[in-house]
Amino acid sequence: MLHIPIEELDRRRDVLQKKLQLQDMDGALLAQNMTMYYLTGTMQCQYVYVPATGPCLGLVRRNMERASEETPVPLRRLAGFSGLPSLLAETGQKPSRLGLELDIMPAALYLRIAKVFSCETADVSTAVRETRQVKSAYELKQLRQAARQVDAMHRLIPEFLVEGKEELVFAAELENSLRRLGHQGIARMRGFNQEMFFGHVLSGISGGMASFLDSPTGGPGVSPAQPQGPGRKIIRRGEPVTVDYGGIHNGYIVDQTRLYSVGPIKEELKRAFEAALLIQERICENLAPGISGNEIFEIAVAVAQKAGLSENFMGFGDTQAKFVGHGLGLEFDEFPILAKGSPHLLGEDYVVALEPKFIFPTDGMVGIENTWRVTAGKPEKISITPDGHLTVS
Q: Collect all residues with Cβ–Cβ distance below 8 Å to 105 and sequence separation of at least 6.
A: 31, 32
Contact 255, 332 (CB under 8 A): yes
- Give the 3-state secondary structure percentages of the chain, helix then strand then coil, rounded to 5: 35, 25, 40
Q: How many residues does the chain have?
A: 393
Low-confidence ranges of the chain (pLDDT < 70): 1
pLDDT in tens, 226-276: 999 999 999 999 999 999 999 999 999 999 999 999 999 999 999 999 999
Contact 170, 157 (CB under 8 A): no
**159 C-beta neighbours (distance < 10 Å), count:** 10
Q: How far apart are CA 15 and CA 137, in angstroms?
A: 15
* Amino acid code (one letter) for 179: R
List, as own/partner pairs, every contact residues 151-158 make where C-beta atoms lie below 8 angstroms and the sequence separation is at least 24, other chains included: 151/247, 151/383, 151/384, 151/385, 152/177, 152/181, 153/177, 153/178, 153/181, 153/245, 153/247, 154/243, 154/256, 154/258, 154/385, 157/243, 157/258, 157/260, 157/390, 157/392, 158/390, 158/392
Question: In this predicted structure, what is the pLDDT of residue 106?
Answer: 96
Question: In this predicted structure, what is the pLDDT of residue 367?
Answer: 98
Q: How far apart are CA 93 and CA 113, in angstroms?
A: 15
Contact 83, 11 (CB under 8 A): no
Contact 315, 359 (CB under 8 A): yes
Q: How far apart are CA 295 and CA 325, in angstroms?
A: 12
Contact 279, 338 (CB under 8 A): no
Rg (Cα) of the chain, in Å, rounded? Answer: 22
Question: In this predicted structure, what is the pLDDT of residue 1?
Answer: 60
Q: How far apart are CA 162 and CA 181, in angstroms?
A: 22
Q: Collect all residues with Cβ–Cβ distance below 8 Å to 138 and sequence separation of at least 6.
A: 4, 5, 8
How many Å separate Cα 133 from the centre of its chain?
Answer: 12
Q: How far apart are CA 230 and CA 218, in angstroms?
A: 9
The answer, yes or no, to whether the previous bond of 176 is cis (omega within 30 of 0) is: no
Note if the pTM is more than 0.85. Answer: yes
* Residue 270 backbone phi and psi in degrees, to 5: -60, -45
pLDDT in tens, 118-146: 899 999 999 999 999 999 999 999 999 99
Q: Which domains does the chain have, with CATH numbers?
A: 6-131 (3.40.350.10), 137-392 (3.90.230.10)
Task: For Cα atoms 57, 20, 22, give the angle at the middle one, nearest 5 degrees.
Answer: 160
Q: How far apart are CA 379 and CA 117, in angstroms?
A: 46
Q: How far apart are the first and last CA of the chain?
A: 43
DSSP secondary structure, 144-203, as one string: HHHHHHHHHHHTTHHHH--TT-BHHHHHHHHHHHHHHTT--SEE---STT--EESEEEEE
